[in-house]
Amino acid sequence: MPVHQRPLSPHLQIYKPQLTSFTSIVHRATGVFLSLGTIALVYWLSAIAGGEESYKTAQGLIGSWIGLLLLFAWSVSLFYHLANGIRHLFWDMGHGLEIKTAEANAKLVLLVTVVLTGLAWLLAFIL
């Protein structure tokens, strides 16, 4: 019996990525990144409890350019995951499941993420 080489679904040569599929993938990735960031938060809290020397070491790591970059990425992940999680709660109630509404809500999630991240970092540097 001959074996036919047929395309698997989704056929990657004709599949057009959608904003809603992108937001779904990013939601999962930000959840993983938030978990890893929580480990860093526990390290920082342990450093506070460990005394002045361990706190200075932790602050040195967090205050470095790589630490600030990771902190920024963690805050983007936090606000994105929050906004998209609220979107999922509405979906669970049966609201916003139409394609046009889902795409508009995906854009709103991205906008809310940018605004909340910007506000958080603005306040962090002002205060």
* Number of folded domains that form the chain: 1
Task: Give per-residue pLDDT as tens, 76-88.
Answer: 999 999 999 999 9
Binding residues: 81
Note whether residue 52 is domain-resident: yes
Binding residues for heme: 81
User: Residue 101 sits in a domain of what CATH number?
Assistant: 1.20.1300.10
What's the pTM?
A: 0.86
Note whether residue 1 is domain-resident: no
- Segment 110-120 mean pLDDT: 99
Tokens standing for residue 52: 């002045």
Task: Give per-residue pLDDT as tens, 59-70.
Answer: 999 999 999 999
121: burial class by Cβ within 10 Å (0-12, 13-18, 19+)? middle
Domain that holds residue 28: 19-126
Note whether residue 67 is domain-resident: yes
